[in-house]
Amino acid sequence: MYRLLRLGLIAALAPDGVPNADLLVSDLGGKQLAVVQVKSRNPKGGDKGWHMKKKHETLISKNLFYCFVDFPSDPNDLPRTFIVPSKIVAAVLTESHRVWLETPGKDDRPHKDTDMRRLLPDYSRIGKSTDQRLEKYSAGWLNKYLENWDSLFS
């Protein structure tokens, strides 16, 4: 929220109980509104992703954005934030989960469907080596969303 305020925007916490919003953001004139869901992660875990749920595959609105915050291991460094439209997040989660389900797991056993999803900065390890559906989401695909605060009102 402090990043939004420093950009000269109006930002406030969404009221308790609002299911799909953490922050409400407006320009100073009140003519543009964005709803933001914040997902954060510490530099732990092998896949460096963010926890999501099945519901995020269908939460799509032109005014809904996700801020994926990547906290650094050094507390003196600033976190990196990726601002991604909900339409993109829904598409990535849907496609990557489908590929994961179709790919055999340990000992060639099928994966079991769950409500959990992961938004990853690199999907190259998901799926069969010959499967190219996730190639567009390999390392670096999130870079165009890094600190892309202007996208909230473009």
DSSP 146: B
Closest CA to 114 of 122, 123, 105: 105
Residue partners of 97: CB distance under 8 A and separation at least 6: 57, 117
What pLDDT is stored for residue 131 in this prediction?
67
pTM listed for this prediction: 0.92
Mean pLDDT of 5-18: 94
Alpha carbon of 91 to those of 12, 43, 94, 95: distances in Å?
28, 25, 5, 6
Quick: pLDDT tens for 42-86: 877 778 899 999 999 999 999 999 999 999 989 899 999 999 999
Quick: pLDDT tens for 95-119: 999 999 988 888 989 999 999 999 9
CATH number, domain with residue 95: 3.40.1350
Inform me whether the pLDDT recorded for 125 exceeds 70: yes
- Determine the structural domain holding residue 57 and report its residue range: 2-153
Rounded CA separation 22/19 (Å) = 8
Domain count, the chain: 1
What pLDDT is stored for residue 46 in this prediction?
75
What pLDDT is stored for residue 11 in this prediction?
97
Rounded CA separation 120/110 (Å) = 21
Look-up: residue for tokens 């009102």?
A: 153
